[in-house]
Amino acid sequence: MTQAAAPQPWSDRFETALHPAIVVFNASIGFDLALIEYDLTGSQAHAQMLAEQGIISREEGEAIVAGLEQIRSEYRAGQFQPGLDAEDVHFAVERRLTELLGDVGKKLHTARSRNDQVGTDTRLYLRDRVDRIRQQLREYQRVLLAQAEQHVETLIPGYTHLQRAQPLSLAHHLHAYLEMAERDWERLGDLRKRLNTSPLGAGALAGTTFPINRQRTAELLGFERVYANSLDAVSDRDSLVEFLAAASLIMVHLSRLAEEVILWASEEFRFIRLSDRCATGSSIMPQKKNPDVPELVRGKTGRVFGHLQAMLVVLKGLPLAYNKDLQEDKEGLFDAVQTVESCLEAMTILFAEGLSFQPDRLATAVEADFSNATDVADYLAARGVPFREAYNLVGRVVRACLAQGKLLKDLSLGEWQALHPQFEADIYEAIAPRQVVAARNSQGGTGFEQVRSALATVRQRLESTP
């Protein structure tokens, strides 16, 4: 006996319904409902264009636009929640529109395929989220800048290979992350330019026989241009890959700072103190305060990397044009967007109210090492001693100090002059941590004047952004 087919978004060529398990396997309504507002907006522009071109009547166009707006209201009120029988958000909207308008609702899909429709929806969604994430990056930068401006003359050990290297202005250290975030902001802006291209009107893969106006729908939806090739329009997911790559770099930068916060909060460093607003305790160790926020940021970074790799693997072997594989582009994209947004928000809160730097502890830290050794070599080089000779001499001095349990500042002037006659009493000033930092006044360096200038540039940049 032939099984009656359920309503479906394809022709009556099929005689039987899908197997129930295949219905579930095939459906995307469980996640692409996130696109509904963008689907409604894109469909309204399509209907308006169809009416303007005389493909449907003006009255039909107005009825469709109004019907789509009613569906938007129903969705926002929680009254429109399609299930698996709708397969995807596009068919769910079209079916509800037909319920509201009858045969007029069936005209919406004229001169359009779900292939160019989903491409349009996804670009509208991603364009909106790119704008939102760029705003979040600016808020994150403002919080970092506020911290940096408070700590221009707070010193912090600088590291290479996680070994003490040279002392820094803490503001200079934070400024590095401000510059990373600026590249992230710019990168998303560059992506947005390419993203802002309309695939609507490309049809399934070859365009349409109807006299549509693709420039008009692009204008209505705020796209700067249309795809020049219909095959490319329905199969291109470059902007998703670019976004996932940009998102991965945002997460890299957040994760690097998160790792530093975790180290700084440890008993071994004690460079910061965590507030109760952004830390948790242990279930059995009452003395602990755990840096959960940066640990979660560090942990969530991998999932965004994974979505980038997954998207590349989906695309790498696809022939033109649309293939069902491309349904796999959305869950990873949605999750990456949500992950980046939540991590940016969390790190912004952390630096706004979740931690405080400990200047006294930091000052003690920079006094208790040999990170001023390079300045001893520079001191001699400035007095005509070849740098490599000075470098080797200081290496021997450090070795001797370590053997005696001394620091460079503990050497007497006589000991200095016994090492080399060019040493004078001003050696002590030259190797004082604050002077070591202040002296590095080359462009982009940690010298206090340079840092203040750099932060002023950052503030001007942020204040010029709406």
Question: Which residues belong to the active site?
Answer: 161, 282
Specify the DSSP class assigned to residue 290: B
Give the contacts of 245 (CB within 8 A, at least 6 positions apart): 308
Q: Give counts: helices (H), strands (E), the chain.
A: 19, 6
Q: What gap in Å lies between CA 367 and CA 370, rounded to an integer? A: 8
Q: What gap in Å lies between CA 185 and CA 179, rounded to an integer? A: 10
Q: Are strands 163-169 and 155-160 parallel, antiparallel or unpaired?
A: antiparallel
| CA 352 distance to own-chain centroid | 19
**397 is written with which tokens?**
């001095």
Q: Are strands 272-274 and 197-198 parallel, antiparallel or unpaired?
A: unpaired
**261 is written with which tokens?**
């916060």
H or E segment to which residue 198 belongs:
strand 197-198
List of E strands, 294-434: 355-357
Strand partners of residue 155: 169
Burial status of residue 406 (CB atoms within 10 A of its CB: 0-12, 13-18, 19 or more): middle
Q: What gap in Å lies between CA 269 and CA 256, rounded to an integer? A: 17
Cα-atom radius of gyration of the chain, to the nearest Å?
A: 31
Give SS3 for 418.
helix
**202 is written with which tokens?**
């490309």
Give SS3 for 60.
helix
Determine how many CB atoms are found less than 10 A away from the CB of residue 399: 10
**Closest of 134, 132, 108, 119 to residue 56, by C-alpha:** 108
CB 157 within 8 A of CB 164: yes
